[in-house]
Amino acid sequence: MRDLLRELGDIDPARVRLIPPPGTATIADLLKPDNDHCELIDGTLVEKAVGNEESFFAFSFGRFLNNFVTDRNLGWMTGEAGFYELDGGRVRGPDIAFVSWDRSPGRRRSEDPIPLLSPDLVVEVLSPSNTRAEMDRKRGEYFRAGVRLVWEVDPRQRTVRVYTNPEQFADLTAADTLSGEPVLPGFTLPLAQLFAELDRHG
């Protein structure tokens, strides 16, 4: 188990499902209702790090992106329940993902529960239980599968780390403006506006 946890990025062992036994799980197992918040990594079901704060923030962030994408009919987007089969049979569920029509077979949105394709852009909203090693591994898988842009957002620190490859990144704060280049040319979002959602109240 120690070796498995290290391979998975030194995650909390409570996030690893033991049924079916690690190393034997399949996409069919992942599709069972009890496993709807899991990812499939090298035959092991791993629970996603979830929380109300992360879900709220991802939904707010996705609204800005989705408005831009749909107004220009650039493709389609999914939220935290949208999963994708990447190289090697791994299945990941980004908190937000954008898939261009150019990557969509027949230029139509996939109706498969877990499509075999890689998004153009993924956004991961960091939870306190996400480890650095876990995110390093996940990011590497995304880029190897063909993802072009990864945004890792820390709502508690109010920062966004923009990756254009697994190792090259730029750190942005609430004083900066996020750009969608090169995946969503023309998309810009002042991060002060985005992070203000965390302060909104009645």
170 in the same domain as 94: yes
160 in the same domain as 122: yes
121 in the same domain as 27: no
155 in the same domain as 56: yes
189 in the same domain as 90: yes
Distances (CA, A) of 190 to 20, 57, 59, 171: 45, 15, 17, 14
* CATH number of 140's domain: 3.90.1570.10
Query: What's the CA gap between 128 and 42, in Å, rounded?
Result: 24
What is the pLDDT, as a whole number, of residue 10?
Answer: 96
139 in the same domain as 177: yes
What is the pLDDT, as a whole number, of residue 50?
Answer: 81
154 in the same domain as 99: yes
The percent of residues in the chain predicted with pLDDT above 90, rounded, is 95
Count of domains observed in the chain: 2
pLDDT surpasses 90 at 184: yes
What is the pLDDT, as a whole number, of residue 36?
Answer: 86
Query: What's the CA gap between 81 and 153, in Å, rounded?
Result: 18
Q: Which domain holds residue 38?
A: 1-47
Out of 10, 32, 47, a domain closes at 47
Query: What mean pLDDT value characterizes the chain?
Result: 96
136 in the same domain as 53: yes
Q: What would the mean pLDDT of 146-169 be, rounded to a whole number?
A: 96
Residue type (1 letter), 97: A
185 in the same domain as 104: yes
173 in the same domain as 183: yes
Out of 17, 32, 47, a domain closes at 47
Looking up tokens 């991961």 gives: 124
Q: How many helices (H) and strands (E) does the chain have?
A: 5, 12
pLDDT surpasses 90 at 69: yes
The pair phi, psi for residue 91, each rounded to 5°, is -125, 125
What is the pLDDT, as a whole number, of residue 125?
Answer: 97
158 in the same domain as 60: yes
Residue 87: pLDDT band by 50, 70, 90 thresholds?
A: confident
112 in the same domain as 191: yes
Per-residue pLDDT tens over the stretch 166-182: 989 999 999 999 999 99
